[in-house]
Structures are given as C-alpha cells and as structure tokens.
Amino acid sequence: PDTTTSTSNPVQSTVVVVKSPPEATIRFGEAGSGDLLTKDPIEKMTLLPGKRPVAIFLGTSDGGRKVVFSISPNVHKIIGEGSCSGPRKQCGYLVMKPGQAANLFDDARLIIWRLNVVGIDQTVKLRKVDSSFQGKG
C-alpha cells in the first residue's frame, strides 16, 4: 500500500486597524456676507484668505479632535469659540473643535473674517495581514 502524508502549515492572519490622517472641513469668508467658502477637506498650510492671510491652517491636534491655525499679527482681536496661545500678546495660534466658530478682526483690511470648523473626519479600516509577511520590508 502506498501512503502519503502531508503536513500543512496554516497561515495565520492578524487584523490591524488602519487609520487615515484626520481631515478637517472648514468654512471661511467675510463675516456677514452669507458667502462662506467651504474647504472639504482643507489642506495643511492653506492660507485664509489666499492673499495676505489672516490665518494659516496648520493641521489637527489632540488625536484628530482639534484643528490649529496660525494667526496673523494683523488680527488684533478674535471673538468666538476656541482657545488662543502663542508668543504674542494677541492670539498667535487658534485651536478649535468641530462646531466652533470665531470672528477674526483684520486691521490691515478693516474686515471681519468668519471661521467655522465644520468637522474632522478620519477613516478607519480593518486590514487582514498575513503573519508570514510581518517584519519583512
């Protein structure tokens, strides 16, 4: 009798969580104009507005729960929500959460700008990874 034995090595898989970088959606424009521009998503280092900015979007912080803007020295006052920090007497950095809004008073142009943080989204996916490939580059 001919007997054949085979052994199989089952491949083990691991499920890993893959998160995309947080992406923020904001609305920005001249306060009271009713015409705020939506940036969805807003890219890092976006100037608001594009020429002679009063704010620059720096990205998200606190695990993707807040957004951070660098504020121009031409902004002498901010009224609204969010928290200010930084080296200047005025607000150097404005940190905001989704749902918060603020008015930025632009001394250079004598305009009040409206900044709304609409939301922060992050995609989470589960990926099956073959353990035989782990640690190989």
Helix (H, G, I), strand (E, B) or coil at 132: helix
Contact of 64 with 44, CB cutoff 8 Å: no
pLDDT of 117 higher than 50: yes
Provide the token pair at 8.
Answer: 């199989």
C-alpha Rg value of the chain to the nearest Å: 24
Higher per-residue pLDDT: 136 or 8 = 8
Q: What is the mean pLDDT of residues 92-113?
A: 96
pLDDT (tens digit per residue) in 76-94: 999 999 999 887 677 899 9
Contact of 132 with 9, CB cutoff 8 Å: no
Contact of 120 with 20, CB cutoff 8 Å: no
- Nearest Cα neighbor of 105 from 7, 30, 33 is 30
Q: State which H helix or E strand residue 84 sits in.
A: strand 83-85
pLDDT of 127 higher than 60: yes
Contact of 89 with 68, CB cutoff 8 Å: no
pLDDT band of residue 136 (cuts 50, 70, 90) is: very low
Which class for 71: exposed (0-12), middle (13-18), buried (19 or more C-beta within 10 A)?
buried
- Nearest Cα neighbor of 94 from 28, 35, 31, 50 is 28
pLDDT at 9: 58
Terminal Cα-to-Cα distance of the chain (whole angstroms): 46
